Amino acid sequence: MGSRAAEALRRLAAELAGAAAERLAADTGARAAGGLTFMEVCGTHTMAVSRYGLRDLLPAGVRLVSGPGCPVCVTAMRDLDLVVALARVPEVTVVTFGDLVRVPSSRTSLVEERAAGADVRVVYSPADAVAMAAAEPARQVVFVGIGFETTAPTVAAAVLEAQARAAGNFSVLCLHKTMPAPLRALLQLGETRLTGFILPGHVSVITGTGCYEFVAAEFGAGGVVSGFEAPDVLESLLMLARQREPAIEIQYRRAVHPEGNPVAREFMARVFEPSDADWRGLGVIPGSGLAFREAFAGFDARRRFSVEPGEPLEPKGCRCGDVLRGALDPSGCRLFGLRCTPETPVGACMVSSEGSCAAHYRYRALDDDGRGLA
Question: Which of 101/224 has CB closer to another protein?
Answer: 101
Residue among 155, 157, 151, 160 nearest 172 (CA): 155
Question: Which of 35/145 has CB closer to another protein?
Answer: 145
Q: How far is the CB of 98 from another protein (least distance, A)?
A: 4
Q: How far is the CB of 55 from another protein (least distance, A)?
A: 8
Q: How far is the CB of 153 from another protein (least distance, A)?
A: 11
Question: Which of 16/247 has CB closer to another protein?
Answer: 16
Could you give phi then psi for residue 361, rounded to 5 degrees? -75, -50
Q: How far is the CB of 62 from another protein (least distance, A)?
A: 15
Question: Which of 190/370 has CB closer to another protein?
Answer: 370
Contact by Cβ (8 Å): 158, 143? yes
Question: In a 3-state reduction of DSSP, which class is residue 374?
Answer: coil
Q: Where are the beta strands (DSSP E) in 16-118?
A: 36-40, 62-66, 92-97
DSSP 315: P
Which residues sit at the interface with another protein, rule CB under 8 A? 1-2, 5-6, 9-10, 43-44, 47, 50-54, 56-57, 71-72, 97-102, 111, 122-125, 127-128, 146-148, 150-151, 202-203, 230, 342-343, 352-354, 361-370, 373
DSSP 181: H
Longest alpha-carbon distance in the chain: 68
Question: Which of 294/367 has CB closer to another protein?
Answer: 367
Question: In a 3-state reduction of DSSP, which class is residue 191?
Answer: coil
Question: In a 3-state reduction of DSSP, which class is residue 20?
Answer: helix
Question: Which of 206/211 has CB closer to another protein?
Answer: 206
Residues 4-17 as b/e (b if ≥16 CB within 10 A, e otherwise) read eeeeebeebbebbb
